Structures are given as structure tokens and as C-alpha cells.
Structure 1
Amino acid sequence: MEPPRGVLSSIWNFICFLPYFIGLLLLGTIKGIIFCPLICLTMTFGNLAIILGLWPVHCVWTYYSIFCSKQLGPILKLVLFVCMPIPLIIWPVVGIVGSIVGGAAFGFLSPIYATFDAVGEGKSNEFFHCFYDGTWSTIKGSFTTIRDFADVCFHSYFSYMADLRQESPDGKYHEIRLLHIPGAVIAGVLCFLVDMPMISLIALYKSPYMLFKGWHRLFHDLIGREGPFLETICVPFAGLAIILWPLAVAGAVLGSIASSIFLGAYAGVVVYQESSFWMGLRYIVASISIYDEYSNDILDMREGSCFPRFTLGHF
């Protein structure tokens, strides 16, 4: 059956489904509020026991594997011995904070998603599944997450350390070139100082276009019942997307600003890999051009970039 056309039919379907949507959202939110503390505590204490229980073993075995590694050179081993305490100390903090945030998000969002999924096709008793789905499945999912985390911290970790101690197929080992590290650091700092303000300005300059282009596309789909508005159950979510689209644009701008940090720091990698400080300077200009051209492609703007895009090859 063809979807209804016209603004009035779309608005009428939206109004008819709105109470149904609000009821499911409230029910899912109530279940999320109930299960969020339980799931958060379960995942936090489960992962905490794994992290703290294996942390002394990880510290000792990491240093032992680095010392016995046949894939690392002596200078690189010395650098790793000096720098390794930093990630080993940060790891428990990051793991615990990640468990708290991840457990809270999973415990709150999983019942909501399951509540909406309960009214999908193939469910025999939708009323029962609206209340039941997302309860026991969320609890089982939290234990599955803890088990998978334990597998990574135990089996995967020791497997990786065993591979590190083995000799590489070509018989060579990795070594760090200390001579190029100062140039790499300088290039990374310079690229960060240039790329971050330039990419931020480009993102801010194109954000109004992204805002109105996104609204134009969403309203076009709303009128024609296309895209996210094709299915009736998706209409409230798509309508919510129209309302929250400015937040998505703001998030894209902030994401661009954050990505400029890593994009700028990569200049140090270019200098180190190419053994040329000049290549790092060329990358500073090329990275801005790459971002400008990529953002133009995403927004369906004019192809290319007004910035020169130097290749990283030698003259």
C-alpha cells in the first residue's frame, strides 16, 4: 500500500501516533529508572573486581613481556619501561569510570529500546512484551558484558603478550629513531596551533548551511512521507530529529574541533615516518584542505577546496 501523501495526512498520522509514542516512552523510561541503578552497580562492581584483581598481574606481566620481547629494540624497550607506569596507573581509573558510565547508560537505554521493539512485527502479545521486554534481558546483558570484559582482560591480554614475546616472521625488531623525535614533536605542536583554529573556523562557517540543509531535507521527507517518515512508528522519532537537529549541528562542530587535535598531532607521525620535517609542514596545509574538501562532500557543496592540497611525496 502506498504511503499517504500530503502535509495534512502526515500531520494527522503524527498526531494519532503521538499518545501511543508518549505512552511507550514513559513506560520505557520508568523501567530504565528502575533498572539503571541495579545494572550500573552490577557492571561497576563486576568490572571493578576484574580490573583490581588482575591489575598486579598486568603490571608484572607487561614489564616481563616487554623485557623478553623479540620484536622491540633496546632503545624502544627503555622508553617503554619509563613510560609504561602512566597507562598502568590510568587504566584502573579509566576502567572504573567507563564501567559506571557504560552501566548507567546500558541500564537506562536498554529497557527503552526494548519497549519500543516490543510493538514490532512478530510479537504475539504486545501488551505483555511492553512490560516484560527490557527487564530480564537487560540483566542478562549486563552479565554478558562482564563476562566479555573478563575474557578481554584475561585471555586476550595474555594472548597478545605471548605474541609480543615471539620473534617477528622477518626476524627484525621495531626500534625508535630518537633523532627524529624532536622534529616530530615540533611539527605536531605547530600543526595543532594552525589546524585547530582553522578547522574550527571552517566548521563554524559551514554550520548554518548544515543546519538549514538538514531541516530542508527532514521537512521534505515529512511532506512526502519518505526516508525516516515512511513508517508510522518512526514519525515521532523523525519529528524529534527535526527539533533536535540544532544540537546535532552543534555536536558536529564540537566534534570537528576535537578531531582537529588528533589531525594536528598526526603531523608528528608524518615527520617520523617520512624522516622529513618538511613533509610535516606540508601536511599542516594539506590537512586543512582535506577537512575542507571532506566537509564539502558531506554537505553536497562545491567539490574541492580553496586551500592547496600538497601531496606528501618528495619533490
Structure 2
Amino acid sequence: MLIPVTGITVPSWLASLLLHWPRSFVVTYYTVAVTERLGPNLRVLSLLLLPVPLLAWPLLMAVSCLIFSLGVGFLWPLAATVAVGGSLDGEKLLEAAIMQPLELTRHAASEVWRFSVVSYFSYLDELRRPYFGEPLDVSPLRLLFAAVAALCCSLVSTLAVLILGMLRLPFIMARALAEWLSQLTACPTKLACLWLPFWLLGIPAIPVLVLGGFLLLLASCLAYLGPTCGVVAYVAT
């Protein structure tokens, strides 16, 4: 199932990216430059920072496509085979392991295309319309203070999580592997042949998942806790 799912997601997501990302880049910059909803300070700041999300867009699209393809094309059919395989119901297995992943893949591909072609540009059109309210703006001094607070918070939280992770990560991996192997002994004998490949795959996968979760937590300290601290500092000053 990995190949059929990848055959749908990769071409459709790649086509939507290649065909519409250049237009998105230009139209987004133009919208921020002309919208009446932003004040002068926030407009300049947005124009300076826009390259970061716009250039990261293709990378995020590629990572999302990879995760989706692996999850729907491999893990879903594997789990469905394990769950339904013991009943020896071929029609139910076909529906759960093949038809449902393909339908979800088709729906996801159409939604990605719709967002890239319609939804995003409709939102930008709305931002360019005349606006008679108070424009949103920021104070440069408060923003500088918030940026310093965000940086300090990011560094402190990342360092704390890194130290804690180095101390606890080996024990977490060992506990996860022990729990995983204990489930194998509790598996009914008639399902052991179905579950065994899944468990063997999980032995090397669990350390990778634990380490990946730890790295994701580190990234969240930089990408979430720091900016959140900065926002709180900006509002409080």
C-alpha cells in the first residue's frame, strides 16, 4: 500500500507546490504590502520576516507528505491486517487495509490542492479589501523587550529539557521496550504469527520514536515556549 498511496500523494502535493508556491510567494508579499489591516511597524516587520515561513513552506510540505505516506500507506494497512486478519474475512480486510487508506489519500490530495488553489488566495483577497477599522500595529520598544524575553526563555527551557533528557532518556527507552515485549507474551497464540512482524518492527522503532519525541520536545521549546514567553512579555509591558 505504500507505493499506491505515495503514487497519489507525492505527485498531487508536488504539483500543487510547484504550480502555486511561486504565485503564493508573490501574492503574499503584495498583500502584506498593501493591506490596510496592518500598521506601518507591523507591516515592515512582516515584510522582513515573511521569507522564513514562505521558504519553509516547501520543506514542511515535503515532510508532511512523507509522514502522511508512511502513516496511511504502511502503518494503517499493517494495523488493519493485524486487527482484521484473525477473522479471515477477506472482504473486510480489503476494505480496512486497502480501500479506506486509498479513499483517505484521495481526499487528502484534493484538500491540499483546494487549499493551494482556492482557500489561501481567497483569504489573501479578503485581506486586500478596504478596511475601515483600526489597523493592527506593534510598538518597537515593547517588541524588542519581548524578543529578548523570548530568546532567554527558549535558551533556558531548551537547556533544562536537554539536561533532563540526557538523564532520563535511557530509562524511558528501556521501559518502553520492556512494555512492548511484555505485550507479545500476552498475545493469544493464534494471533502470534500476525503480531510477530509488528513486534519485531517495533523493537528498533521504539528507540527511534522516543528519540524523535525528545527532539520534537526540544524543537517545541524553541518554536513554542520562547515565542509564547515573548507574547506574554509584550502584552504585560
TM-score calculated relative to the size of structure 2: 0.72
What is residue 111 of structure 2 aligned with on the other side? 148
Structure with bigger helix share is 2
* CA–CA separation in structure 1 for the residues paired with 2:72 and 2:183: 31
Q: How does 1:1-315 map to 2 (within 5 A)?
A: 35-119=1-85, 126-130=89-93, 133-166=96-129, 171-204=133-166, 247=207, 253-261=214-222, 262-275=224-237
Residues 37, 104 of structure 1: 8 Å contact kept: no
Q: 1:53 Cα deviation (Å)?
A: 1.5
Distance of 1:44 and 1:222 partners within structure 2: 35
Quote the offset at 1:174 in angstroms: 0.9
Aligned residue identity for 2:143: I
Quick one: distance in 2 between partners of 1:103 and 1:218?
25
Tell which structure's C-alpha radius of gyration is larger. 1
| Alpha-carbon distance, 1:49 to partner | 1.0
Partner amino acid, structure 2, of 1:92: P
SS at match of 1:135: helix
Paired with 2:66 and 2:170, the residues of 1 have a C-alpha distance of 36
Aligned residue for 2:42, secondary structure, equals: helix
How many Å apart are 1:164 and its aligned residue?
Answer: 2.6
Q: Is the 8 A contact 1:110 1:138 kept in 2?
A: yes
Which region of structure 1 is more displaced relative to structure 2, 49-58 or 155-164? Answer: 155-164
The superposition leaves residues 13-69 of structure 1 with CA deviations (integer Å, 9 ceiling, x where unpaired) of: xxxxxxxxxxxxxxxxxxxxxx31232132111111112212233233323322332
Larger relative contact order, structure 1 or 2 (CA cutoff 8 Å, min sep 6): 2
> Residues 198-235 of structure 1: CA distance to partner in whole angstroms, max 9, x if unpaired?
23334555668867988999999999x9xxx8xx979x
| Residues 271 and 233 of structure 1: CA distance in aligned 2, closer, same or farther (over 3 Å) | farther
Runs of 4+ in structure 1 deviating by more than 6 angstroms, as ranges, are 208-223, 242-246
- Distance across 2 between alignment mates of 1:41 and 1:159: 29
Structure-2 separation of matches of 1:105 and 1:214:
21
Are 2:177 and 2:203, in contact at CA under 8 Å, matched by a contact in 1? Answer: no
Cα deviation for residue 109 of structure 1 reads 1.9
Q: CA deviation at 1:253?
A: 4.6
What letter corresponds to residue 120 of structure 2 in structure 1?
Y
User: Using the alignment, how far apart are the partners of 2:184 and 2:7 within structure 1?
Assistant: 42
Cα distance in 1, alignment partners of residues 62 and 205 from structure 2: 33
Compute the RMSD of aligned alpha carbons.
4.1
C-alpha displacement of 1:136: 3.6
Q: Is the 8 A contact 1:72 1:175 kept in 2?
A: yes
CA distance in 2, matches of 1:132, 1:211: 35
**TM-score where L is the length of structure 1:** 0.57
* Runs of 5+ consecutive residues of structure 2 not aligned to the other structure: none
Distance 1:128 1:202, change over 3 A: same
Counterpart AA for 1:193: L
| Secondary structure of the corresponding residue to residue 97 of structure 2 | coil
Give the structure 2 partner of residue 282 of structure 1.
Answer: none
